[in-house]
Amino acid sequence: ANEGGQRVLLAAADTFRAAAVDQLEMWAQRADVDIVVPEEGQKKPFPVVAKAIDKARDEGYDTVIVDTSGRLANNYNLNEELRGIKDTIKEKIPTAPHETLLVVDAALGRNAVDQARIWQDEVGLTGMVVTKLDGTARGGFVISTVRELKLPVKLVGVGEGIDDLRDFDAPAFVDALLGYQEGDAEALQQRLDATRQKAEARRAEKKRQTEEALALAMSAKQQEMEATDEDTPATKSSGGKSKSKKKKKKNKKR
């Protein structure tokens, strides 16, 4: 789960949806990471966020992930709450949040682009997470989102397991999008893996070619330097003879 070896702390800031905290606690246990939850009867998310950041700084955590409640763009109260969460984070760490990710269901289709546009204006987004790509939804709206909003997709969900949230690989996604058969989740995952392996092989080959070209260039430079060193004594010797002849001619005239 925590493949990067970082110390991760979750903040359960979804105080709106029933059982949201319990669900996040379950995932924290599966991922073997710590979590800060609201105190009993606590309805506002701000204290949870502040407590999580303080704990992270005091105890040396590398990353804090704040889980907020889902909301529609036209829900004024929840939107204000989201701005408040962001302000709370900034009060603790002026340069934060370092990432603000919008999680969207692939089944939303074109509506996801509209949602992303609104949220980008409201709170400022740094990327998207697209879930449920293992279903019948193809996720073609991703291309529109990137093109129109210049908003990158950071992660994709292709299942319900803890390892099914993956880094977004654009070439693999396009390949899967074009060749994916509806309902065939296994085929999608196989295409993603195969395309990723091809990309890694191309990078390895490019690195090998670069290193080979560099080695050849260094060898040619070395040969050039050796040739220059061999020519230098001969030039000096020739110069010496020339001076000697000139002196002899001057002596004869005298």
Pick from 114, 122, 117: nearest CA to 85: 122
Q: What is the pLDDT of residue 199?
A: 80
Query: Tens of pLDDT along 151-184?
Result: 888 888 888 888 888 888 777 777 666 665 545 5
Angle at 84 between CA 146 and CA 64, to 5 degrees: 65
Q: Are 48 and 11 in contact (CB under 8 A)?
A: yes
| DSSP codes joined into one string, the chain | --TT---EEEEE---SSTTHHHHHHHHHHHHT-EEE-PPTT---SHHHHHHHHHHHHHHT-SEEEEE-----TT-HHHHHHHHHHHHHHHHH-TT--S--EEEEEGGGTHHHHHHHHHHHHHT--SEEEEE-TTSS---THHHHHHHHH---EEEEE-SSSGGGEEE--HHHHHHHHHHPPTT-HHHHHHHHHHHHHHHHHHHHHHHHHHHHHHHHHHHHHHHHHHHHHHHHHHHHHHHHHHHHHHHHHHHHH-
Angle at 67 between CA 176 and CA 126, to 5 degrees: 55
Pick from 81, 1, 18, 92: nearest CA to 52: 92
Q: Within the chain, which residues score under 50 in pLDDT?
A: 1, 182, 235-250, 253-254
Q: Are 18 and 75 in contact (CB under 8 A)?
A: no
Query: Tens of pLDDT along 201-210?
Result: 888 888 888 8
pTM attached to this predicted model = 0.63
Q: Are 99 and 127 in contact (CB under 8 A)?
A: yes
Structural domains of the chain sorted by starting position, each given as residue range(s) with its CATH number in brackets: 1-98 (3.40.50.300)
Burial category of 203 from C-beta neighbours within 10 Å (exposed 0-12, middle 13-18, buried 19 and up) = exposed
Q: Which positions ≥6 away from 131 have C-beta within 8 Å?
A: 103, 104, 105, 106, 156, 157
Q: What is the pLDDT of residue 246?
A: 47
Q: What is the pLDDT of residue 71?
A: 76
